Structure formats: structure tokens, C-alpha cells
Structure 1
Amino acid sequence: MRDDRAAAYAGGAAALLFVASLAIFWPGYLQYDSLVQYQQALSGTYDDWHPPIMAHLWSLFGPSGQGPMAVLQLGGYWLGFGALAAALAASGRGRAAALLIGVAVWPPLLGWQPVVLKDTQMLGALLAGLGLIGWWRLRGRRVPRAVWSLVALLFGYAMLVRANAVFAVVPLCVMLLRRRGGMPSLRQAGVGAGATLVAILAVIALASPINHDLFAAARSGVERTQPIYDLAGIAVRSGDPAIGIPAPAISRLAARTCVRPYFWDPLGEPTRCEAEVAPLREAPPGVLYGRLALAAVRHPWSYAAHRLAHLNSTWRWLVPYRWPGAAPPEANEPNRLGLAAPGGAALAWQRLATLLVETPLGWPVLWVVLALVALPRALRGSDPASRLAAALLVSALALEMSFGVLSIASDLRYHLWPMAATAIGWIMLGRWRVPRAGLAAVALVVLAGGTARLLLPAPPQTYRGMLG
């Protein structure tokens, strides 16, 4: 009875914090991407640069602004954290439940959740599905089929609303569906990795007909951005015009620093570098990826240097202080639709978040190390909490590792799920005994990252400044 009361308290606290979040952050924030999607939702004309499923969902609410979508994603966020906290409290782990609520109110994490974006939609959907599973499993009960159906809808939405979410969701599902806990054998690990890869490729293959046929989204050419970014990066480092960029254009790309670790955007700006990569834009996406594979084989060091520079940028490790794109917004994207931003209490919260994202806990690279440190212990465990932790840590690491190959920008919002999943995984495990190698890795990351922030010159704080 005492545990039931503790579960009710934990769930009630999450419900109250959901209401408080709505009161503080109403009606939510809009950035450039979300404003474009809202305009598509109003017009009924969609393209695939942004996820059409999100714009279609938004269209159901009519011209009511960002409020309904903010409610949905904040609702999923607090449902997930609340259900997990209540389940932990019901199993006698009250301190773990309190820690979980503490993670949910951490300003950099909560400060991003009222921003209506595909990343926060993904986070809300995944947390809601995870919470439903955890509510049953952490109490030692089977998840009902009806709940699995709802989880499938939430996870499916997450994969359609964020293109690279497949690298998080499929490994998560594979781990959740494991029949046995404990450290897998090499054969079991191989079978699991193979099944994961096949499922990822299947989901990627299905995404195009769903977006273009089912949701009637026009093709924008977004699928060309990744190979163009990587081909330009290889060309600048190798100077090889056989990649598909003429030698004079390669020289101009280098002179204008068009290839930047932070993001691909200069290559898409007409006034900056778009003309230099124009020959690549004419090729079909399949041809571009074929060229990229060939170029990576011919110039492996150039490709590796390009991708590692970007990975360092998006993981926010050896970067200057106040590397842009980390802090949640304090205002809306300027618009003529009369869409208001949250008030003074939200502004104070976001300014606190801006300070906290500059600490090591705001660096995705630290969460990668923490996930790696905790994973062996999670895999060894066979209890429900350890199995759930293992699924979360594998999901977080799979998504983070995918950024080494498929990523063109460095915004912190791309890492919200891995950060949240890793924090939840650690809490699920409890008894934090970190091996010396793990402590050394954490110390190295913090020391090197802090030194870089002290010594490297300050970056521009505007989009135009980062374009160069």
C-alpha cells in the first residue's frame, strides 16, 4: 500500500509539473523550421524538407498556432517521465523516482521541449512510448497488446517525424524485444546487429513512399544535402576534381571556407557557395551517394578528417565557449501571423538553461562516454530495470554513432533523446559504481573540453556570422 501511495505521489508530481510547464511556456516557441511547417499545415501544400507527417498532424488543429502541438509534445514528455517515476516508486525505489523527476525538470532539457520542432516531437513520442512500457515492466508485469499497439504508433511517428530517428528507434525495439537478459554471446550479438541493420534499411526504404505517396509531399532535394556536404569536404581536403567539382570551384570552396564543421548551410546559400557545388545538384541522389562511396574509398583520410571535424562539432567537445545552437530559444522566429511567444517566466527559465548548457552536462560527448561506461553493467543485468537501461543505452549510442556518417548540423536539439535516454538508463541501474577507466574517460572529456573553451577564439553568435 505504501508503494502504491508513493507511485501516486510520483505520478501526481509529474502531472502537476506538466500543468506548470504549460502555464510557463504557453503557447510554445516557434523557430524557422516550425514556422515553415505551420505555413504548410495551413496551406495544405507539403514538401519533404521537413517531415510531412508533422505538418499533417498540425493541420488537424487549424489556424490555432503552436499551442496544440506544444501540448502534445509536453504531454508525451511528462507522461513518459511520470509513468517511469511512478513505476520506480511502486517497486520501492522512491529515490530513483525523485531523481527521474529531477532529470525531467533540468532546464536545458525541459527548456527545449516547448519548442515545436521535429526533434521535440520525436522526444515526446519516444518518452511516452517508453513510459507505457516501463509502467508495466518495472512492476514485473506483461505489457498488454493494446499498449503495444499504442507504443507502435508512437514509435512509428517518431521515425517519420525525424529522419535519423530510425537509428534510435530500431535498436531500442530490438533490445526491448529480447527474450532474455544478461550479457549476450557473440552469436546473439551478431544476430541482433544483423536484425537491427535489416530493420533499419527496411524502414528507410519505406519512408519515401510514405512521405511522397501517402502524405503527398513534394520532393525538395533534401536527400542531396548529405552527399553534397561530404563530397565538398573531401574535395577541399584532397583537391581531386574527379569527385565531380571542377578544380577552380574547389579552390573557391577552400578560399571562402564553404565547408564548415558546424553545418552544411554555406553550400546551400546562393550568396555564398551554392554555385560551386551546382554540378552536384543536377545528379540523382543515388548517383551522389555512389560518388561519395567511391570518393571515400579513394580518399579515406580526407573523408575521415571531414567527418571527425563535424562529429567533434556536433558532439560539442573541442569547441569554443558558447558554440552556437545549444541554448533553447528565448523568443519566436519573427512572423506576420501574430503568433506570440511565452512570457517572462519562460524567458527567465530559458536564460538559466543558456547558462547550464555550457557546463559539461550540456556536451553530448559526455553523455556518449556515460552511456559507454554504463552499458556493460546494463547488459549483464537480467532484471526489468537493467534490461530497460540496456535498451536505452544502446538506442542512445546507436543514434550518436550515426552522426559520424549521417549528420550535417551541430544543434544540441539533435541530441536530446540520447541525453535523456542515457540519464534514464543510469537511474534505472542505480548503485553508480564507475570503473577507473570510466572515470578517466570522463575526466579526459571534461578537461580537454574545458581547455578548448578557454583557449579557442569566441565564435559568432548569429546565423549569418556562422555562414562566414
Structure 2
Amino acid sequence: MLWVVVLYAAFQPGLMSVDTIDQYAQGLRGVFDDVHPPLGSLLLGLSGRLVGSPWLILVGQLLLLAGSMALLVRSPDGRMRRRGLFILGAFLVVPTVWALAVILWKDVMAAAVLLGAVAALKCRRPLLALVLLMAGTAFRHNALVAALPLAIPVMAQLSRPRWRWPLRALVLAVLVAGLALTPSLINRALGASKGWAAGQLFVFDLAGIYVAHPELFPGSTLEQDISAPELARSYSPFHVGSLLLGSPDARPVLLESLPGRRDVLVREWTRVVRAQPVAYAHHRWETFRRLIGAFEGPVFFPFQVRIQPNPWGFQLPDQGMLHQWLRSGADLVKNSLLFRGWAWLGALTVLTLLSLFDVRRRPLAFFTALSGLGYGLSYLVISIGCDFRFLYWSVIATFAALALRVTGEAPASQTPSK
């Protein structure tokens, strides 16, 4: 609780990026699009209506992160409990966790509910875990990748001992289908307009290939937005934003024009990737390498540091000593291993392999590590930028899997499923 109070006092009502401000505005209006998953926008707007700012979401995600990790380190064994408390202390102190936990991002919301799902599974509450996994897939477009491994222990806890594998497989298939359908069902329920967020990925990939092979550019649908020389000036493997925002010497590719060209872009992407698979792989690797910090130079956008200008006058208490002390601590390590994604993915790889050899005794540790690892690696093919926030669940999953390995997991027969 002290952790929550300190971070709230230093960063309330929560750091807000341009995306967060857009989501908050949508939530207040009650008019949503699916570029930003509308569940997060709905909750941000609900907080605004109730208390005049999004601070309820800040407190909620902080409580869920801290409370879930506290549950994961509990153990009846005194020695294991002491080790678990050490992990909890590291979790609360490491800037990689708290410097992003105070940001009102969909990445943080998704990570918080996914961690809650892991804690619910340790406490043998599979239905609660399922609800939290569904929320995770609704908070973040690609969180399904993280939720799928955790659906397996949900199935195992829901299943009765007498059930054979065909029936268990059927239950798992239903769970997977439910998780996959959750975002679209919520979008429909909230009346979210289709913005085709994935269009940014297709533009980013095409630009990466065309910069390497400009001879392929003539005839591209992007010609109506930008010329080949402009494309070369705008493209950066660090982020698609440079293409969408444009620059003084290059016109932008208009995001709002992409939904109307969806079929054309998909066909063009398929044709160009097939023609130049090496260039595509190179573009993907260069972006992923920068995302995980495997390059010389400072980490690209390790965390948000302020509230962007907004019509509601939200400001941070950035003149306070507590805020300045915490911010200086995060700035001190923002280019260290703590914010290098390769270090966290490497740790998850080790935890996944160790847990695999012990999967019968600690299945939840294995599936949690696999969830974080698979989620991080998925950005090799879907990343549109190198923001460290994309790897936040991988960071949280590292601590969760380690806690489960150190403190153990409750035996299946200890308490009934609810």
C-alpha cells in the first residue's frame, strides 16, 4: 500500500501520452474507435466522469500490480517466503516496473490484468483468471499472444479429474475462441468505429522494403501520399510515426486514409514481401533489434516523462521533491540493462527452459514465462516502433515466473476451483 501511495503522490493523476489523451477524450464523449482498444478508453472516461480525472485508473493499476505480486510471493514455507519477499522488494523498487506503472497506457493496463490472472491461477480461481485474461485481450490488440499460454492452466483448473483429453482439448478450444473474440465483441458493444490500427504495420513494412528497393515503388498505393525520395527521408526503423506525421521535407502518409485502402494495402504487402523476403526480414530485425536495445546508443523512449498538453489542464506535481527524486532515479538507469529488452527476454528464456524441466511440479511458472517470452518475441513481426513499453508484460512476467519458481505453487487438491 505504501508503494501505491508514494507513486500516486509523485505522479497523480498519471502520466499521459498523446494516445492516452485521445483515449480519455473518447471515453468522456462515449464515442470510440478501435485504433485504441475502447475498453481502456471507456474506463479512463468513466474515471473522468466520476472524479474529474483519470487518477482512479492509476490507483487501480498500481493496486493490481502490487497486490497480485504480493499474492504470488506468499508461501507457507518460511525460507521460501523470505525469498519471495526479496523478489517482491525488487519488483517494487526496480524503475523498470514503477516508471511505467504510473503511465496510463494500454500496455500497463494489459500487464496489470495479466498479472492478476496469474495470481488468480495460483489461488486456484480459474474463472476470475479467465475474466482477467479476457480483459487483457481487450486492453491491448496483441495481448492474445500473452493470454493463450495462460489459457492452458485455466483449462487444467476448470477440468474435472475424470475428464479425458478430448474433452479437455474441447474446453481449451472454447477458451481460446472466447479470448480471440473478446476484443471484437467489446468493440461492437461499445459501437467502436473501425480505424484499422493494423494498417500502420503494413505501411511500415512496405516503407522498409521500398527504401531498400526503390525500383519496386512505382505503382504502389503509397504514391498518392508520398514520393520515393520523401519515403527514404521519412522512414526510420525506430518508429512508424515518422511516416505518419511527415516532416518539413516529406509529406505524411495519412492514417485516416488507410481503412479505405485496406484490401489494396494487404495485397500489395503480400506481393512485395514475397518478392523481397530478405529485405522484409532485414527491416523486421532492425526494428526488433532496436526495440530490445541490442544496439549502441540510448534506449529509444524508455518511458513517458510528462503529461502532454491537454484541454483539461492536467499537470504533474513535478515541482515536488518526491517526484523529482523518483524521476532522477529512473533517468539514472534508463539506458542500463534494466531498460534493455534483450536482458529481460534472455531471463525469460532461461526461466522458460528451467520451468519446462520442472513443468509437472510448477506448470504455472512455465506458462507464465512462456506468456512473457512469446509476447516479447511476437514484436519481431508486429512491431511498429521501438518503445520499451511494448515489452512491459515481458518484464512483469519475468518477476511473476521467478516468484512462482521460488515460492512454489499450491497443489491442485488444496482448494476447490471456484
| TMscore range, shorter length | 0.7 to 0.9
1:324 Cα deviation after fit:
3.0
User: Whole-Å Cα distance in 2 between the matches of residues 410 and 419 of structure 1?
Assistant: 15
1:231 Cα deviation after fit:
1.2
Match for residue 23 of structure 2 among 37, 43, 55: 37
Asked if the contact 1:111/1:353 (under 8 Å) is kept, the reply is yes
Match for residue 288 of structure 2 among 311, 321, 327: 311
Q: Say if 1:248 and 1:408 are closer, same or farther in 2 by CA, change over 3 A.
A: closer
Task: Indicate yes or no: 2:267 matched with 1:290.
Answer: yes
Stretches of structure 2 lacking an aligned partner (at least 5 in a row)? 158-164, 408-418
User: Whole-Å Cα distance in 2 between the matches of residues 251 and 284 of structure 1?
Assistant: 19
Query: Counterparts of 1:16-415 in structure 2 under 5 Å?
Result: 16-61=2-47, 62=49, 64-87=52-75, 92-134=80-122, 136=123, 143=124, 147-174=125-152, 177=155, 203-204=179-180, 207-211=183-187, 213-239=188-214, 240-241=216-217, 244-246=221-223, 251-256=228-233, 258-271=234-247, 273-274=250-251, 281=258, 284-320=261-297, 322-329=298-305, 331-342=306-317, 343-382=320-359, 384=361, 386-415=362-391
Identity of aligned residues (%): 22
CA deviation profile, 1:399-452 (whole Å, cap 9, x unmatched): 112101111011111111101212332343349xxxxxxxxxxxxxxxxxxxxx
User: Whole-Å Cα distance in 2 between the matches of residues 64 and 278 of structure 1?
Assistant: 31
Structure 1-normalised TM-score?
A: 0.75
Letter in 1 for 2:267: G
- RMSD of the alignment, in Å? 3.2
Structure 2-normalised TM-score?
A: 0.83
- How many residues align? The count is 391
Match for residue 428 of structure 1 among 404, 409, 417: 404
**SS class of match (1:404):** helix
Asked if the contact 2:341/2:391 (under 8 Å) is kept, the reply is yes
**SS class of match (2:198):** helix
Higher RCO (C-alpha under 8 Å, 6+ residues apart): 2
User: Whole-Å Cα distance in 2 between the matches of residues 276 and 32 of structure 1?
Assistant: 19
Q: Say if 1:250 and 1:279 are closer, same or farther in 2 by CA, change over 3 A.
A: farther
Q: Say if 1:251 and 1:198 are closer, same or farther in 2 by CA, change over 3 A.
A: farther
Asked if the contact 1:40/1:46 (under 8 Å) is kept, the reply is yes
CA deviation profile, 1:202-225 (whole Å, cap 9, x unmatched): 7556533531x2111122342311
1:176 Cα deviation after fit:
5.4
Letter in 1 for 2:273: A
User: Whole-Å Cα distance in 2 between the matches of residues 422 and 430 of structure 1?
Assistant: 12
1:160 Cα deviation after fit:
0.7
Q: Say if 1:275 and 1:106 are closer, same or farther in 2 by CA, change over 3 A.
A: closer
Letter in 1 for 2:82: G
User: Whole-Å Cα distance in 1 between the matches of residues 253 and 40 of structure 2?
Assistant: 33
